[in-house]
Amino acid sequence: MKIAIIGSGNIGTDLMFKALLSKKVEVVAMAGIAPDSDGLARARRRGLAVTAEGVDGLVRLSEFEHVDIVIDATSAGAHRHNATTVQHYGKRIIDLTPAALGPFVVPAVNLGQHIEAPNMNMVTCGGQATIPVVAAVSSQTAVHYAEIVASIASKSAGPGTRANIDEFTETTARAIEQVGGAARGKAIIVLNPADPPLIMRDTVFCLTGDADHDAVRASVEEMVAEVAKYVPGYRLKQDVQFTPVDEPVTTLTPEPVTTRVSVFLEVEGAAHYLPAYAGNLDIMTSAALRVAERLAIAGAAA
């Protein structure tokens, strides 16, 4: 399948480099809004059709007629116009912004449920990193409450990320519930100013009732291995921890909460275009490419 990318910033450019390595999809066009952006310059040197007129310029490119999938790496606000424009031409769109117009998709968890959706939302970087873990825990025991903390290098947070922080927390919290299976979810993002920059770190806290610790641990480890198939730098930082909850947590759930499950992760980027510390961006582009490749496989099978 042929793909086009909207957004010539860090995320769109990293995605382009990943797509150029793929054997299942072919990236043929990139649209941006900054004529002098590094992303458009690199795309042009690699033979892609380019435009600095955004999605409106993209649909005027002759290559657009043959595009099957558009991947949007812009912003939540811009995605609304991009999605409407692209879908008018019958193209499917994968959304890397927190706009959440389409269903939340986390490849390791629920891609099969939404393989026919015309607009698939990739939640957020924190969501892609932590929701698989929440889903792994909830597959073994009821998760009454899940809280995630995503710590990313300040240098890896560009203007798009900073402009969408409110959407990040709201979108991620909803997806923790809808995809991860938690009764209630909360998301926190931390922009770490450390220099040299630190790689992405994610902490997942789940409040549960009584559960088989070995089963939960095995489920988490299996899920981490599944995500690592398309995000090689995704890994557990230490063993899954179980802490007894002595006092009742009545403000969260009427059901008894006896255990806090704590999972600590880190995500190192593949450094295709971005620095290795920018795992928060790498996991988004890797997840989006995973979806595009699965769509290509499904299309070939059909």
Could you give the residue numbers annotated as active site?
125
DSSP string, 185-243: EEEEEEEE--SSPPPEEEEEEEEESS--HHHHHHHHHHHHHHHHTT-TTEEESS--EEE
Q: Is 164 annotated as a binding residue?
A: yes
Q: Alpha carbon of 1 to those of 42, 206, 231, 293, 295: distances in Å?
A: 22, 39, 21, 8, 8
SS3 91: coil
Q: Is 57 annotated as a binding residue?
A: no
Q: Is 62 annotated as a binding residue?
A: no
Q: Is 270 annotated as a binding residue?
A: no
Q: Is 37 annotated as a binding residue?
A: no
Q: Is 121 annotated as a binding residue?
A: no
Q: Is 161 annotated as a binding residue?
A: yes
Q: Is 299 annotated as a binding residue?
A: no
Q: Alpha carbon of 94 to those of 57, 120, 211, 238, 266: distances in Å?
A: 19, 5, 36, 33, 25
Q: Alpha carbon of 58 to those of 29, 31, 93, 261: distances in Å?
A: 8, 6, 13, 46
Calculate the CA dihedral of residues 39, 42, 47, 51 and round it to 10 degrees. Answer: 30
Q: Is 84 annotated as a binding residue?
A: no
Q: How far apart are CA 122 and CA 223, in angstroms?
A: 18
CB-CB neighbours of 190 under 10 Å: 13
Q: Is 269 annotated as a binding residue?
A: no
Q: Is 138 annotated as a binding residue?
A: no
Q: Is 163 annotated as a binding residue?
A: yes
Encoded amino acid at 298, one letter: A
Residues at the binding site are 8-11, 156-164, 280
Residues at the binding site for NAD(+) are 8-11, 156-164, 280
